[in-house]
Amino acid sequence: MNRVDPLLLGEDLTAQLARLDMGGLGCVELLEQQLAAITASQPILNAYVAIDESAARAAAADSDARRKAGQARALEGVTIAIKDNLDVAGMVSTAGMATRRDAAVAVRDSTAVARLREAGAVIIGKLNMHEAALGADNNNPHFGACHNPHRPGFTPGGSSGGSGAAVAAGLCSAALGTDSMGSVRIPASYCGVVGLKPSWGAISTHGSVALSHRLDHVGPLTRSARDLRRLLPVLAGFDPASAQSRSITMLPTSTGPLRLGIVDFGDAVHCNDDVAAEFVRSLDVLFGLGHRRVDLPAPAFPPGHARRAGLLVCEAELLVEHRHDWQHQRDRFSPMLAKLMSYAEGRSAADLVDASRLLDRAQVQLQQWLAACDVLVTPTTPQRAFAFADAVPANQADLTGYANFSGNPALSVPMAVGEGELPLGLQLVGRVGDELRLIALAEAFQHATRWQPRLPAASHSWGMS
């Protein structure tokens, strides 16, 4: 472990790229330090399910050669880790499921992974996730629980829990996740990193194991908001191979003050007191930057109703996505996942239409809020990360689900919590194509709070600080 530099591993992707650009750091050296950190942390965090070290080393060596020849691409030599429901050529996409553990390896990259490779990124491996992406604690019964690097024994969130944990622990320069009702933003909130769910269709989902064609989004997790400026142009773009892909025009960043919408959720969403207090302090920071508050009415119906409708849509689509395995090896689905899918199996077509229409109502609700403001601001999650021994809160996705139901972009940025406290996320939601505005606002918030990326204090337990 004497090769591991915790300061380097704690830096964001932008800073690591700057080191590579200046020649003071080699691509192979960066990879080797991250591989050593993965080896040290894996028994504690279990963030990865597979690593192709030889392929990663070959890619890093190629990146060093390109840099030496003056042919560096946008992401030359930084490492990206991939949630295990996105195809990486030569690796199995398990989607966290026992039924897919022995599936054939992918013959080609998913579109998002291919775009990262084309930009020079080194694909380091596949990340742990909640089984079938239907859940938000990442207590995976087949591959083991992935732990929060700020407090092992606690959830990193999900379903992209391995993505949040790996980024927070410095085990990659950035990661890809998927988000159907908050699965990028919830782990970003719990792990103290940044997570972006872009506009629906902006980043292709082609080459993924689907949870819901209506709700699925691919999104990056990073250690800073500014990293998203590096990744989004690489990842976004119309993909004719994907029925869900759209050509999204990214709107320019605003220079003037914004109208920030604050919803009166009342009793519709129960936020823990500590979350509510941190949220108020974060709003003070935003208003101190010159932005204006717009108070918005309570939702027309509790967001939990839409969340449950979204779950039914996902459960029903899993019956189609995994039809063969459900018919022939149902015993390899965990009892919890089998229960959820069996529930959908007993619903009627009319029930599914009712659920879809309720999601439409949630979409209209968000559109009405955004008609009165520029950016909607909420806590990302109503609670901090919790112990695996505790009951899973039903309302984890109550605040994140709206942006999936509507297809609007949403971003989670860490709030400035006290020393030793578990992280919390601040959610920013914008209109379709407003990703750059959200990123700029998140950057300004991080600058105002003097936030700096660094490894969690708990990393000393695996020899990294």
pLDDT tens digits, residue range 271-309?
Answer: 999 999 999 999 999 999 999 999 999 999 999 999 999
Model confidence at 218: pLDDT above 50: yes
- Residue 465 is predicted with a pLDDT of 62
Residue 13, sorted as left (phi over 0), alpha (psi -120 to 50) or beta, turns out to be alpha
Structure tokens at 346: 């007993």
- Residue 118 is predicted with a pLDDT of 98
Asked if 208 and 218 touch (Cβ cutoff 8 Å), the reply is yes
Bridge-based pairing state of the strands 259-263 and 375-379? parallel
For 253, counting Cβ atoms within 10 Å of its Cβ (0-12 exposed, 13-18 middle, 19+ buried), the class is middle
Model confidence at 404: pLDDT above 90: yes
The CATH classification number of 6-304+354-462 equals 3.90.1300.10
Active site residues: 83, 159, 183
The Cα–Cα gap between 435 and 428 comes to 10
Model confidence at 269: pLDDT above 80: yes
Phi (first) and psi of residue 411, to 5 degrees: -135, 140
User: Which is more confidently placed, 2 or 74?
Assistant: 74
DSSP 160: S
The Cα–Cα gap between 109 and 112 comes to 8
Q: C-alpha 443: how far from its chain's center?
A: 18
Per-chain mean pLDDT for the chain:
97
The Cα–Cα gap between 168 and 151 comes to 12
Strand, coil or helix: 203: strand
Model confidence at 1: pLDDT above 60: no
- Residue 388 is predicted with a pLDDT of 98
- Residue 2 is predicted with a pLDDT of 52
Q: How far apart are the first and last CA of the chain?
A: 11
Of the pLDDT bands very low, low, confident and very high (cuts 50, 70, 90), residue 107 is very high
